Amino acid sequence: MRCPTCDRSELIESVENYHYRECGLENITLSGITVRKCPECGVVMPKIRNIEGLHDCIAKFLVKKEERLLAPEIVFLRKSLGWSSSDLAKNLQIDKTQVSKWEHGRVEMSKSNELLFREIIARGKKIMDYHREGAARKAATVLRLFVEMGQDREWKLAA
């Protein structure tokens, strides 16, 4: 395939780990996916199958994690529901400016709001093994996450 950006070279395909910044999170690596690169202009184009399934996999991990949510994770989860900031504000019966403060990391979400938010995601995404007693008990940390596609073509966290 010819480079769609510069049209000066064929794209070179390789299988590698890809830092998936496009999702808005800084800590997601996709294991062993096909990546096309242009040797001329350097454009990098990952081939990501089943993006919806991938985002569901990440959302499921985030909802269930023991650590408090980071600001970009709140944004990711809200978007995974297809919700605007106003939608979230309405559902939590709070002011929209509050959502913006959380999502920019200016104010920490109260734990009760965070648990309610997680509950909403778990229900919306039908995550049946979400246990609220274990959720959000620990301080927020950036966890490196490796996600890979299994032979069944479902995305899952790599061991």
DSSP 29-49: EEEEEEEEE-TTT--EEE--S
How does DSSP classify residue 2?
A: B
Does the footprint of Zn ion cover residue 122 (CB under 5 A)? no
Q: What's the rounded Cα separation, in Å, for the pair 79 and 75?
A: 6
Does the footprint of Zn ion cover residue 107 (CB under 5 A)? no
x/- map, 2-21, Zn ion, by CB under 5 A = -x-xx---------------
Taking CB under 5 A as the binding criterion, the range among 18-26, 31-39, 45-53, 127-135 that sits at the site for Zn ion is 31-39
x/- map, 33-72, Zn ion, by CB under 5 A = -----x-xx-x-----------------------------
Taking the complex as a whole, how short is the minimal distance between the CB of residue 10 and Zn ion, in angstroms?
Answer: 9
In sequence order, the 6+-apart residues with CB closer than 8 A to the CB of 10 are: 1, 2, 3
